[in-house]
Amino acid sequence: GEDVEQSLFLSVREGDSSVINCTYTDSSSTYLYWYKQEPGAGLQLLTYIFSNMDMKQDQRLTVLLNKKDKHLSLRIADTQTGDSAIYFCGHSGGGADGLTFGKGTHLIIQP
């Protein structure tokens, strides 16, 4: 299977919470990341979490990490039309030799 797996699409109604999930296989992952990509743009860092943490909150964003199950999630509260984008989960071993990414989840906002 893939090193990092994400669902390809998620559709939510405006104002609801969005939860984007990611699973990974590398147990040596030290840092885990969420990036956002809007059409025609590069990847924008949203947040990251160190592997010894369970949760990190930053305004509307909540990251949950279940290291035992190698599962990472990103919750966006009060989803807005501006949140429509592709969200990438990524991880590294902390060795500065590059990140490994999932294929990205397209977040679609319904009015």
Partner 1 sequence: DAGITQSPRHKVTETGTPVTLRCHQTENHRYMYWYRQDPGHGLRLIHYSYGVKDTDKGEVSDGYSVSRSKTEDFLLTLESATSSQTSVYFCAISSPRSGEGDTQYFGPGTRLTVL
Positions in the binding site for partner 1 (CB under 8 A): 4, 30-31, 33, 35, 41-45, 48, 50, 88, 92, 94-104
**CB-wise, 12 or 87, nearer to partner 1?**
87
Length of the chain: 111
In the bound complex, what is the minimum distance in angstroms from residue 29's beta carbon to partner 1? 10
Give the pairing of strands 85-92 and 31-37: antiparallel
In the bound complex, what is the minimum distance in angstroms from residue 80's beta carbon to partner 1? 22
Name the maximum alpha-carbon separation found in the chain. Answer: 43
In the bound complex, what is the minimum distance in angstroms from residue 48's beta carbon to partner 1? 6
CA dist list (Å): 51 to 2, 84, 93, 99? 20, 27, 10, 15
